[in-house]
Amino acid sequence: MNTYDTYVILFRGLSVGDHNFHWTVDGKFFEKEDYSGITGADISVDLVLEKTEKHMKLNFDAYGELIIPCDRCLAPLSVDIDAQRSLIIKESEEGEIDDDDMVVVSRSEHQLQTAPWIREMILLSLPMKNVHDKGDCDAEMIKKLEDMSNGGETISFE
């Protein structure tokens, strides 16, 4: 079973104009992700697909929260997500290369799988460092980590 079917858009049948899509992303969405630290999510994703005669423009907007381990104490930490991303979908047979903001589809393609773009948008919006507010970390865990690092190598989360 492919749980990502929900994120597929059959674009051939869409008329010229704006089309709205909405999804709610939970922790399962990230299960296949290499970044396996994610233990939960409640993220609302909106997509406005603007179709013209020449191309399609996809405007994604995501907001909600992601649960990941704190960089300092490893206990679950809720991180606010507020992410946007725009993509242009172009049809071409010339073998043009995709780049970050443009995706080329061939005339034989009729669907777009948006899940990888949504995942990437959310993960890229995460700050470099995710830690609890001062004093909110799991003190016991920090002590354990410190004891471990005293034994030899220093664990660095930088």
Q: Is the CB of 72 or the CB of 119 nearer to Zn ion?
A: 72
Q: Is the CB of 18 or the CB of 136 nearer to Zn ion?
A: 136
Bridge pairing between strands 76-91 and 102-105:
parallel
Smallest distance from Zn ion to CB 155, Å: 14
Residue ranges binding Zn ion (CB under 5 A):
70, 72-73, 132, 137
Bridge pairing between strands 55-69 and 76-91:
antiparallel
Smallest distance from Zn ion to CB 143, Å: 13
Tokens of 22: 């909405």
- Residue 66: CB atoms within 10 A of its CB come to 25
Q: Is the CB of 100 or the CB of 133 nearer to Zn ion?
A: 133
The string of DSSP codes covering 4-64 is: GGGGEEE-TTPPSEEEEEEEEEEGGGGTTSS-TT--EEEEEEEEEEEE-SSEEEEEEEEEE
Give the residue at shortest CB distance from Zn ion.
70
Tokens of 35: 């970044």
Q: Is the CB of 87 or the CB of 137 nearer to Zn ion?
A: 137
Smallest distance from Zn ion to CB 1, Å: 36
Smallest distance from Zn ion to CB 69, Å: 8
